[in-house]
């Protein structure tokens, strides 16, 4: 089976489904039992319409054990974050315990987008929703990392078949590929430097590729020419501006003359 470029792989391809979930009224003890029974560390919380409204994790449940026995007088002047933890320690249902609002990801989002959300929000998992906001799965860090669990042979096949031959229309001996521990080495040569750069970028997108080492040579460096071409296109397409530093703002519907 041919691989799909990493940037083209979507969350639906790697998410876990079906998902164990609870309602806002689910009791504390039942949540603990569900986590243990299914071997998961968190469960999404759904409203009656099936929309994700929160998530309860082991960390949320542990607040009851860590803070539940403290004396009331210790609550004076406590910080907001600690007050939130204490409120969860006193909670008895998923609605009391859950973290809300919850960050979700669309099933159609790319795995790269999901990874960026986890990185930016410092999250371990994301509930996955469809176009209507209904829960369809959950994706974890482990699910995303699973894309790297491919053999070197499978990676080499995809790079050679899909990229080198299928998109660049070349192959050995002009261009060859070797893979070791997920690191792809490109050898050989191309006529233009831009082709070598494109090859490297494309290979980075193949599932399982950890890194790319390009040893490609080229006969002609066409990148300065391409830069001049793009700069010229941008200049021609841009509206003319005064040389005194004034910036014109185009009104709605106004044409560039």
State the DSSP code for 245: S
DSSP designation for 74? G
Q: Nearest-CA neighbor of 186 among 206, 163, 213? A: 213
Beginning with the edge strand found earlier in the chain, give each strand of the sheet holding 105-106 in spatial order.
105-106, 125-129, 135-140
pTM: 0.67
- DSSP H or E stretch at residue 127: strand 125-129
Confidence at 143, pLDDT banded by 50, 70, 90:
very high
Output the pLDDT for position 1.
38
Mean pLDDT value across residues 116-145: 93
> Which residue do the tokens 């229309």 mark?
169
Interatomic CA distance for residues 257 and 110, integer angstroms: 40
Confidence tier at 104 by pLDDT (50, 70, 90)? very high
- Region 93-114 average pLDDT: 93
What is residue 88's predicted lDDT score, i.e. its pLDDT?
Answer: 80
10 pairs with which residues across the strands?
A: 110
Instruction: Indicate the pLDDT class of residue 30, thresholds 50, 70 and 90.
Output: very high
Stretch 193-215: mean pLDDT: 93
CB 224 within 8 A of CB 27: no
Q: Which residues contact 129 (CB under 8 A, 6 or more apart)?
A: 52, 104, 105, 106, 107, 135, 136
User: Looking at residues 78-97, what average pLDDT do you find?
Assistant: 78
Residues 6+ apart with CB under 8 A from 200: 186, 212, 214, 216
- pLDDT value for 93: 94
Both tokens of residue 209? Answer: 């590729």
Residue 97 has pLDDT above 80, yes or no: yes
- Residue 119 has φ and ψ, to the nearest 5°, of -65, -45
Residue 251: band (very low, low, confident or very high) from pLDDT cuts 50, 70, 90: very low
Which single residue is written with the structure tokens 């960026």?
A: 116
Q: What is the mean pLDDT of the chain?
A: 84
pLDDT of residue 9: 81
- How many whole angstroms separate alpha carbon 206 and alpha carbon 202? 7
Tokens of 135: 């829960």
């Amino acid at each position: 089976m041919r691989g799909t470029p990493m940037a083209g792989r979507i969350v639906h391809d790697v998410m876990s489904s079906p998902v164990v979930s609870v309602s806002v009224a689910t009791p504390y003890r039942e949540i603990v039992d569900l986590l243990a029974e299914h071997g998961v560390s968190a469960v999404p919380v759904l409203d009656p319409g099936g929309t994700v409204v929160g998530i309860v994790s082991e960390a949320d449940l542990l607040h009851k054990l860590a803070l539940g026995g403290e004396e009331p007088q210790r609550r004076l002047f406590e910080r907001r974050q600690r007050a939130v933890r204490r409120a969860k320690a006193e909670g008895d249902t998923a609605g009391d315990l859950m973290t809300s609002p919850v960050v979700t990801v669309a099933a159609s989002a790319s795995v790269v987008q999901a990874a960026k959300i986890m990185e930016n929000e410092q999250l371990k998992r994301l509930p996955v929703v469809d176009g209507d906001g209904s829960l369809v799965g959950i994706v974890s860090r482990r699910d995303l990392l699973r894309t790297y669990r491919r053999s070197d042979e499978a990676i080499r096949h995809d790079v050679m078949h899909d990229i080198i031959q299928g998109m660049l229309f070349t192959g050995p001996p002009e261009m060859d590929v070797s893979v070791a521990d997920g690191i792809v080495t490109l050898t050989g040569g191309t006529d233009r430097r831009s082709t070598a750069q494109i090859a490297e970028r494309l290979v980075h997108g193949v599932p399982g590729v950890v890194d790319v080492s390009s040893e490609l040579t080229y006969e002609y460096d066409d990148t300065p020419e391409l830069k001049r071409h793009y700069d010229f296109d941008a200049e021609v397409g841009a509206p003319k501006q005064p040389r005194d530093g004034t910036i014109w703002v185009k009104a709605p519907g106004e044409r560039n003359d």
